[in-house]
């Protein structure tokens, strides 16, 4: 091992790479088991253990990692490795057999013996375990044949789900840390900033601020002590892109941080990870330790004379800490409350020193830009938003999971071509079911069917009152009540408001109670106007992004689904039938004797039914006056007047 | 309270603060490491007992109000003991649109707990919601301690609880 660390120029990446290649060649087959949070929940670790047992039982030999650190030739046998999230979460546990590249879905412990027997030994495909294309019904053996994958452009996620995230050697063998080495050995701080600026990289965490400009600002600040922070506090409900990158390719994040550190001459970095992501915390910690052990991180990075150390800190459950100034306060051991900007963190950040904060995905993109060149990077995406974006595609869509597409891709492509279309509540395909997509979480807005052909990028989304945010895409079908969705986000931001600004703290509470009035049937004609006025006040009167954007889901649903709100307010009816308090009364079949008293009592003729047969209430006509419940002597009418 | 609380009585012998001192030393008694210190304390006691918070404050030479302020700000910190099994229902966007609330209600009903009283009397279960576990592909998701259960229904969630109750009764 020590021979791999020549003192003057840092570790010999080529030697690590060559060793890893040599050791991995000893394995004729490799079984990659997705060990992302989703697959683990479905029993992936059990499947992994079953492979090792089965291979050993047959005397075929199994290794769980590539032994590149040993001097001797690899011991052979099948390599059974873990990977990070492969994105196709609904189909998990996912098992890929290499070199053939066959992807098996929904693999259970009981399937393992058959895969070993037929695929590893006989070279056949186990047909019942391959993915069947929902459009054609055809079996798809490899990633390339599966529309979910073939219609994406996996760039930042290219290695996620393939490489072993806990193996530094494999990352290096795939060209890892070479960009960091070049940045430290061959480029000046200004060169690095220019390179990233030329590529047009914009922050993937929400706002889309140009990364190169942020770095350049921090670079130009006086003072020797500066910091780089990786913001892994991905709090948006419905988003898990950063989790997947940290779990699937943690070294890419560290390499990105090293390049950022080079750009501003920082010697210390922090990775702040959400506590709800224990696996991500563990993998990032291990990656930092391995990089230190290999001499990549340390007092003298690649012989440049500059050092770089990385600390990992676990958050403690506060959404507002995703805001950069609040995150800094949290690292300093304080309540995570934002502070006014300027000064920007790039001027005065952690411990009052110039600090660059970037999101996980942004940092993971940086090494790729250095590897491929700024001009090539610009060929992906749109002129103002180059590159790709990962999205967490969830909700009422056939293929939920983690996807990556170039900026400028249309929503239609994402929902229908990649996601396989909209589903109903039971998960069955529902081609006409599209109602809206919620993008950008609690700060974002809704995209309606009119937006299906809008090329998505930072600027086009702003134009329609939404934002990329961190990239959660929640597809909603016709059975979803948009008022309830707005209330859901309002409750979230109200809960997470740190309390510093009055309008955020109290305004969100009042907005929430107005939404409750609407949902529970207490609203009147003035409620919507009041809600809008208050929403605008909260936007204006809040310091940080949380408060400024908290009213967005309400304003956006009001803009696109105003009639739905009005239905709730004026007619006390929830068109989706979701709001319990507004649900029309129901006649219990078990109690109704068909006497007809309710029918007679109904002033709007909303009740139908033959004598001596169970009567039903027509929800479209019912005004919820309660006359039927009063008229019924058997207590068969429920849901009104109690 | 304490006699009802198996956690407190279990840890009364360690309340000599030796464990807390070890934790404080691990972080060099540095006030800026307050959050990881409280996390380690909570790992030890499963919540933050008031006297331990005061002890931490004094040891770090910061006002107890600052420690209390941090402890109440972050949702991870618990000022009351939690149950042996912490059941967390994800109520992130994806889980919410896939109807996580009826699951929460079913579990709460089965265990006789509520949002206001999330822990059972015997300190076996605490039921709470979290905003997102990042396993949206499996929505709705329920976490029992560290074990993730995906695509749960009200019935399967209650079955998971029953299973634990059976195991505990045995």
- In our burial notation (b when 16+ CB lie closer than 10 A, e otherwise), range A186-205 reads ebebeebbbbbbbbbbbbbb
DSSP B66: H
Query: Residue A409 sits in a domain of what CATH number?
Result: 3.10.20.600
B66 contacts in chain A (CB < 8 Å): 334
B97 contacts in chain A (CB < 8 Å): 395-396, 474, 476, 480, 485
- When computed from its CA atoms, the radius of gyration of chain B, rounded to whole angstroms, is 18
Q: Judge whether B7 lies within some domain.
A: yes
Q: Check B94 against A236: CB less than 8 A apart.
A: no
- Nearest-Cα distance to chain B for A600, in Å, is 36
Domain boundary among A537, A570, A603: A570
Query: Residue A509 sits in a domain of what CATH number?
Result: 1.20.1440.230
- Nearest-Cα distance to chain A for B15, in Å, is 24
For residue A119, the model assigns a pLDDT of 92
Q: Residues 6 or more apart from A577 whose CB is under 8 A from it?
A: A479, A481, A583, A619
Query: Residue A279 sits in a domain of what CATH number?
Result: 3.40.50.11540
H or E stretch covering A476: strand A472-477
Q: How many CB atoms lie within 10 A of CB A67?
A: 19
- Nearest-Cα distance to chain A for B104, in Å, is 15
Query: Residue A603 sits in a domain of what CATH number?
Result: 3.30.70.20
3-state SS, residue A172: helix
Same domain (yes/no): A426, A512: no
3-state SS, residue A311: strand
Same domain (yes/no): B56, B95: no
Same domain (yes/no): B108, B64: no
Q: Judge whether A170 lies within some domain.
A: no
In the predicted structure, residue A1 carries a pLDDT above the cut 60: no
Same domain (yes/no): A206, A341: yes
Q: Tokens 């001499």: give the residue.
A: A295
Same domain (yes/no): B27, B90: no
- Is some CB atom of chain A closer than 8 A to the CB atom of B110? no
Same domain (yes/no): B10, B55: yes
Same domain (yes/no): A589, A524: no
In the predicted structure, residue A369 carries a pLDDT above the cut 80: yes
3-state SS, residue B109: helix
- Return mean pLDDT, chain A: 91
Same domain (yes/no): A50, A132: yes
- Nearest-Cα distance to chain B for A605, in Å, is 33
Same domain (yes/no): A466, A518: no
Q: Check A480 against B36: CB less than 8 A apart.
A: no
Q: How far apart are CA B37 and CA B27, in angstroms?
A: 7
This prediction's pTM: 0.89
Q: How far apart are CA B163 and CA A340, in angstroms?
A: 51
SS3 content of chain A, % helix, strand, coil (to 5): 45, 15, 40
Same domain (yes/no): B65, B131: no
For residue A441, the model assigns a pLDDT of 84
Q: Check B75 against A318: CB less than 8 A apart.
A: yes
* pLDDT mean over A362-368: 97
Q: How confident is the model at residue A75 (pLDDT cuts 50, 70, 90)?
A: low
Q: How far apart are CA A59 and CA A57, in angstroms?
A: 5
Q: How far apart are CA A94 and CA A87, in angstroms?
A: 10
Domain boundary among B73, B96, B129: B73
Q: Check A42 against B150: CB less than 8 A apart.
A: yes
Integer CA distances (angstroms), A317 to A138, A235, A470, in order: 45, 9, 18
Q: Check B94 against A318: CB less than 8 A apart.
A: no
For residue B8, the model assigns a pLDDT of 46
Q: How many domains does chain A have?
A: 5
Residue A465: exposure state from Cβ atoms within 10 A (0-12, 13-18, ≥19): middle
Q: Judge whether B125 lies within some domain.
A: yes
As a whole number of angstroms, the longest Cα–Cα distance in chain A is: 96
- Is some CB atom of chain A closer than 8 A to the CB atom of B32? yes
Q: How many CB atoms lie within 10 A of CB A231?
A: 26
- Tally the residues of chain A: 642
| Nearest CA among B47, B45, B53, B51 for reference residue B70 | B53
- Is some CB atom of chain A closer than 8 A to the CB atom of B96? yes
Q: How confident is the model at residue A336 (pLDDT cuts 50, 70, 90)?
A: very high
Q: Judge whether A446 lies within some domain.
A: yes
Nearest to B136 among A40, A235, A392 (CB): A392
Q: Residues 6 or more apart from A566 whose CB is under 8 A from it?
A: A528
Query: In degrees rounded to 5, what are phi and psi of residue A288?
Result: -65, -45
The percentage of chain A sitting over the pLDDT mark of 90, rounded to a whole number, equals 69
- Is some CB atom of chain A closer than 8 A to the CB atom of B138? yes
Same domain (yes/no): B56, B97: no
Q: Could you tell me where the beta strands, DSSP code E, fall in chain B? A: 85-90, 125-130, 142-144, 147-149
Q: How far apart are CA A507 and CA A484, in angstroms?
A: 18
- pLDDT tens digits in sequence order for chain B, 170 residues long: 344 444 444 444 445 788 999 999 999 999 999 999 999 999 888 899 999 999 999 999 999 999 999 999 999 899 999 899 999 999 888 888 888 999 999 999 999 999 999 999 999 999 999 888 878 878 899 999 888 898 899 999 999 999 999 999 98
Q: Judge whether A257 lies within some domain.
A: yes
Beta bridge partners, A617, equal A607
User: Which of A69-78, A514-523, B17-26, B144-153 is predicted least confidently?
Assistant: A69-78
Q: Judge whether A29 lies within some domain.
A: yes
Copy the structure tokens of residue B144: 């029992």
Q: How far apart are CA A414 and CA A434, in angstroms?
A: 13
Same domain (yes/no): B100, B24: no
Question: Which residue is closest to A400 within chain B, CA to CA?
Answer: B137
Same domain (yes/no): A311, A432: no
Q: Check B97 against A485: CB less than 8 A apart.
A: yes
Is B88:B126 a contact under the CB 8 Å cutoff?
A: no
Sign of CA dihedral A328, A333, A337, A343: negative
Is A269:A227 a contact under the CB 8 Å cutoff?
A: yes
For residue B162, the model assigns a pLDDT of 96
Nearest to B93 among A274, A336, A474 (CB): A474
Copy the structure tokens of residue B125: 């279960």
Strands A95-98 vs A30-34: parallel, antiparallel or unpaired: antiparallel
Domain boundary among B26, B43, B73: B73
In the predicted structure, residue A198 carries a pLDDT above the cut 50: yes
For residue B170, the model assigns a pLDDT of 84
Same domain (yes/no): A531, A400: no
Probe site for chain A from B24, B92, B98, B149 (most A CB atoms < 10 A): B92
Q: Check B97 against A441: CB less than 8 A apart.
A: no
Q: How far apart are CA A116 and CA A24, in angstroms?
A: 19
- In our burial notation (b when 16+ CB lie closer than 10 A, e otherwise), range A342-375 reads eebbbbbbbeebbbbbbbbbbbbbbbbbbeeebe
Same domain (yes/no): B165, B98: yes
Q: Judge whether A167 lies within some domain.
A: no
Same domain (yes/no): A84, A20: yes
Q: Judge whether A60 lies within some domain.
A: yes
Probe site for chain B from A45, A86, A276, A401 (most B CB atoms < 10 A): A276
**Per-residue three-class SS string for A89-137:** HHHCCCEEEECCCEEECCCCHHHHHHHHHHHHHCCCCCHHHEEECCCCC
As a dihedral over the C-alpha atoms of residue B22, residue B28, residue B32, residue B38, rounded to 10 degrees, the angle is 0
Q: How far apart are CA A98 and CA A162, in angstroms?
A: 10
Q: Judge whether A467 lies within some domain.
A: yes
Same domain (yes/no): A315, A265: yes
Q: Check B70 against A334: CB less than 8 A apart.
A: yes
Question: Which residue is closest to B73 within chain A, CA to CA?
Answer: A335
Question: Which residue is closest to B135 within chain A, CA to CA?
Answer: A38
Query: Residue A116 sits in a domain of what CATH number?
Result: 3.40.30.10
Q: How far apart are CA B14 and CA A87, in angstroms?
A: 45
For residue B23, the model assigns a pLDDT of 96
Question: Which residue is closest to B147 within chain A, CA to CA?
Answer: A41
B105 contacts in chain A (CB < 8 Å): none
Probe site for chain A from B91, B97, B141, B156 (most A CB atoms < 10 A): B97
| Nearest CA among A394, A388, A455 for reference residue A154 | A388
Q: Judge whether B47 lies within some domain.
A: yes
Q: Check B69 against A476: CB less than 8 A apart.
A: no
Q: Check B132 against A37: CB less than 8 A apart.
A: no
Q: Check B92 against A238: CB less than 8 A apart.
A: yes
Is A406:A365 a contact under the CB 8 Å cutoff?
A: no
Same domain (yes/no): A242, A362: yes
- Is some CB atom of chain A closer than 8 A to the CB atom of B74? yes
Same domain (yes/no): A137, A234: no
User: Which of A49-58, A134-143, B79-88, B123-132 is predicted least confidently?
Assistant: A134-143
Question: Which residue is closest to B91 within chain A, CA to CA?
Answer: A237
Q: Tokens 């079953």: give the residue.
A: A50
Domain span at residue B89 reads: 85-169
The ipTM, to two decimals, is 0.85
Query: Residue B156 sits in a domain of what CATH number?
Result: 3.40.30.10
A104 Cα distance to chain centroid = 24
Query: Residue B49 sits in a domain of what CATH number?
Result: 1.10.10
Q: How far apart are CA A516 and CA A483, in angstroms?
A: 9
Q: Residues 6 or more apart from A430 whose CB is under 8 A from it?
A: A396, A421, A422, A423, A424, A477, A478
3-state SS, residue A82: strand
Same domain (yes/no): A53, A187: no
Q: How many domains does chain B have?
A: 2
- Nearest-Cα distance to chain A for B130, in Å, is 9
Is A616:A587 a contact under the CB 8 Å cutoff?
A: yes
Q: Would you list the DSSP string of A135-163?
A: TT--EE-BGGG-HHHHTS--STTSSTTTS
Q: How far apart are CA B116 and CA B48, in angstroms?
A: 19
Q: Judge whether A161 lies within some domain.
A: no
Chain A to chain B Cβ contacts (< 8 Å): 134
Q: Check B94 against A40: CB less than 8 A apart.
A: no
Q: Check A336 against B132: CB less than 8 A apart.
A: no
Domain span at residue A264 reads: 176-377
- Nearest-Cα distance to chain B for A397, in Å, is 10
Q: How confident is the model at residue A448 (pLDDT cuts 50, 70, 90)?
A: very high
């Amino acid at each position: 091992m020590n021979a791999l660390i020549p003192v003057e120029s840092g570790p010999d990446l080529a030697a690590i790479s060559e060793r890893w290649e040599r050791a991995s060649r000893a394995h004729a087959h490799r079984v990659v088991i997705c060990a992302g949070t989703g697959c683990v929940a479905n029993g992936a670790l059990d499947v992994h253990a079953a492979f090792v047992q089965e291979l050993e039982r047959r005397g075929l030999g199994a290794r769980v990692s590539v032994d590149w650190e040993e001097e001797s030739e690899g011991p052979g046998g099948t390599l059974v490795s873990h990977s990070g999230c492969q994105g196709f979460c609904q189909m998990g546990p996912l098992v890929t057999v290499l070199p053939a590249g066959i992807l098996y879905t929904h693999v259970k412990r009981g399937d393992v013996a058959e895969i070993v027997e037929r695929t590893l030994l006989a070279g056949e495909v186990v047909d019942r375990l391959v993915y069947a294309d929902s459009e054609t019904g055809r079996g798809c053996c490899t990633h390339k044949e599966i529309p979910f994958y073939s219609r994406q452009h996996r760039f930042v996620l290219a290695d996620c789900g393939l490489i072993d995230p806990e193996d530094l050697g494999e990352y290096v063998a795939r060209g890892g840390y070479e960009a960091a080495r070049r940045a430290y050995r061959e480029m000046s701080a200004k060169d690095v900033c220019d390179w990233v600026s030329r590529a047009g990289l914009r922050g993937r965490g929400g706002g889309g601020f140009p990364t190169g400009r942020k770095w350049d600002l921090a670079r130009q600040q006086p003072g020797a002590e500066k910091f780089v922070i990786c913001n892994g506090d991905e709090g948006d409900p419905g988003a898990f892109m950063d989790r997947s990158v940290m779990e699937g390719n943690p070294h890419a994040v560290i390499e990105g941080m090293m390049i950022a550190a080079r750009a501003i001459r920082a010697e210390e970095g922090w990775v702040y990870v959400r506590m709800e992501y224990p696996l991500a915390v563990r993998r990032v910690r291990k990656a930092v330790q391995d990089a230190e052990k290999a001499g990549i991180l340390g007092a003298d990075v690649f012989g440049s004379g500059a050092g770089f150390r990385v600390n990992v800190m676990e958050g403690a459950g506060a959404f507002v800490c995703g805001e950069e100034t609040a995150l800094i306060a949290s690292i300093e051991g304080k309540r995570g409350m934002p502070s006014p900007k300027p000064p920007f963190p790039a001027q005065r950040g952690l411990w009052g020193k110039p600090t660059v904060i970037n999101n996980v995905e942004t940092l993971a993109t940086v090494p790729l830009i250095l590897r491929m060149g700024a001009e090539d990077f610009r060929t992906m995406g749109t002129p103002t938003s180059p590159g790709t974006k990962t999205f967490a595609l969830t909700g009422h869509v056939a293929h939920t999971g983690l996807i990556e597409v170039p900026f400028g891709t249309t929503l239609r492509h994402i929902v229908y071509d990649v996601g396989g279309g909209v589903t109903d509540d039971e998960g069955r395909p529902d081609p006409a079911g599209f109602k809206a997509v919620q993008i950008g979480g609690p700060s974002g807005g809704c995209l309606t069917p009119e937006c299906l052909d809008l090329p998505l990028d930072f600027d086009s989304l702003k134009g329609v009152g939404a934002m990329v945010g961190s990239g959660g895409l929640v597809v909603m079908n016709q059975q979803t009540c948009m008022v309830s969705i707005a209330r859901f986000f309002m409750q979230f931001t109200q809960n997470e408001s740190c309390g510093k600004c009055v309008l955020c703290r109290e305004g969100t509470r009042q907005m929430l109670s107005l939404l409750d009035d609407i949902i529970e049937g207490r609203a009147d004609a003035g409620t919507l106007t009041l809600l809008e006025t208050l929403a605008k006040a909260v936007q204006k009167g809040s310091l940080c992004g949380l408060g400024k954007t908290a009213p967005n889901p309400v304003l956006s649903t009001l803009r696109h689904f105003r009639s739905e709100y009005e239905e709730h307010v004026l007619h006390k009816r929830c068109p989706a039938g979701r709001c319990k308090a507004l649900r029309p009364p129901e006649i219990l079949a078990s109690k109704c004797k068909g006497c007809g008293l309710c029918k007679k009592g109904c002033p709007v003729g909303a009740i139908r039914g033959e004598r001596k047969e169970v009567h039903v209430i027509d929800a479209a006509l019912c005004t919820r006056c309660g006359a039927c419940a009063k008229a019924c002597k058997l207590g068969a009418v429920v849901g009104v007047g109690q | 309270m304490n006699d009802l609380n198996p956690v407190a009585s279990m840890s009364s012998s360690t309340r000599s603060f030796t464990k807390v001192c070890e934790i404080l030393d691990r972080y060099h008694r540095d006030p800026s490491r307050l959050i990881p210190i409280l996390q380690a304390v909570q790992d030890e006691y499963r919540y933050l007992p008031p006297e331990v918070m005061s002890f931490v404050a004094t040891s770090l030479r910061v006002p107890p109000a600052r420690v209390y302020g941090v402890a109440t700000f972050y949702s991870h910190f618990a000022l009351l003991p939690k149950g042996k099994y912490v059941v967390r229902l994800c109520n992130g966007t994806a889980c919410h649109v896939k109807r996580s609330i009826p699951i929460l209600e079913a579990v709460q009903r089965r265990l006789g707990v509520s949002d206001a009283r999330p822990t059972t009397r015997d300190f076996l279960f605490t039921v709470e919601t979290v905003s997102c576990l990042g396993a949206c592909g499996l929505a709705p998701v329920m976490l029992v301690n560290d074990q993730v259960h995906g695509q749960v229904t009200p019935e399967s969630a209650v079955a998971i609880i029953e299973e634990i109750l059976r195991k505990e009764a045995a």
